[in-house]
Amino acid sequence: MPEALFRSFLMGGFECSTHRNRSGRRLDMIAATRHDEFAEKDYQRLIDLEISTARDGVRWHLIEPEPGKYDLSSLARQAAAAKKTGIQIIWDLFHYGFPDDIDITTPQFVERFTPFALAVCEYLVSEIGPELIICPVNEISFFSWAAGRAGIFHPFRQRKAAIIKTHLIDAAVSAISEIRSRFPQVRWIFTEPAIHVVPKNSDRRAAERYRLAQFEALDELHQKGCIDVIGLNYYIHNQWQHPSRRPLRLDDPRYRAPSEIFKEYFDRYGRPVLISETGIEDERRADWLRFVAAEAESAASSGVPLSGLCLYPIVNHPGWEDWRHCHNGLWDYADSSGARESYAPLESAIREVNGKLRRS
């Protein structure tokens, strides 16, 4: 595993969810933010901030409009922009959405995901080169819970979490096996929410079982040799009481330092760690970035090979359910020329953190 896999420590992530919400609406955040139109300008804005690595995604429902037939035109602008600007992209293949004719609760999902993933990698290699960084499936544990237990993500089930998790793991392993045989230079990241759970009452064992469930998917993937980098998605709501799921405040004595959570992942798997998503809405954006960056620095000083921190999302986007204007990025919606207004306090924090990293 190369020591310097990423070109910059600070990264930007483009919201790329494509699942159907509870009203049945197909989300397409890449289109909603007009990132598909202005990918080159978006990437160049990152480079101008001395951010030369980004997370971005592909849209399976557009790439496979019919079973087994692939149309990569929806990815063309992002691939061309990555090549022209020289930015390094971590490509998400599955960020929640999949074609309507697939049933994720059956092995059909694995059978369809593997050739789709191979087709995407073949295209990206032909356009950019073989040294790709791929996240096959974003947040296996969270998606399994949301789609198969909580019933808040398509297909909105409540007793299918275990089978959905199994199919997501099997699909990722199958795809990696196929792609490795063709393109051994591809590197693999798996992202999961890094959580901490405390009991509301005396039932500590139940809370701890819930907390330990965050490792189930990564344990299996690690055992099968599929992980190059562990991606940890960390937000303000990642620590809560069980069973109420009431979030812990940062000043709660039970709130665990995120740096300790990051270190637990490294101690468990021995792989480099990337904070693959972090961010918050509205006026707390700058302070939250400083807080997580300080925790990243603390984790690194304790021996964790922490290889990056990704601000997610980098562009404001519509809310999944209500289409409200979420002010959680650095840049706002694009105008007709592709210009985006910057949120000055967050931009100042980014420059501050970047400058500190360069001096360290």
Per-residue pLDDT tens for 66-115?
Answer: 999 999 999 999 999 999 999 999 999 999 999 999 999 999 999 999 99
The pLDDT assigned to 1 comes to 34
2 — pLDDT class (breaks 50, 70, 90)? very low
Predicted confidence (pLDDT) at residue 294 exceeds the cutoff of 70: yes
The pLDDT assigned to 240 comes to 97
Helices (H), the chain: 29-32, 39-48, 60-63, 76-85, 108-127, 140-148, 161-182, 204-212, 216-223, 258-269, 285-301, 344-359
Share of the chain above pLDDT 90, in %: 96
pTM for this predicted structure: 0.96
Structural domains of the chain ordered from first start: 12-359 (3.20.20.80)
**97 token code pair:** 């959405």
| 224-242 mean pLDDT | 97
More confident residue, 317 or 2: 317
Cα–Cα nearest to 66, from 107, 121, 119, 123? 119
Q: In which element (H, E) is residue 241 found?
A: strand 239-242
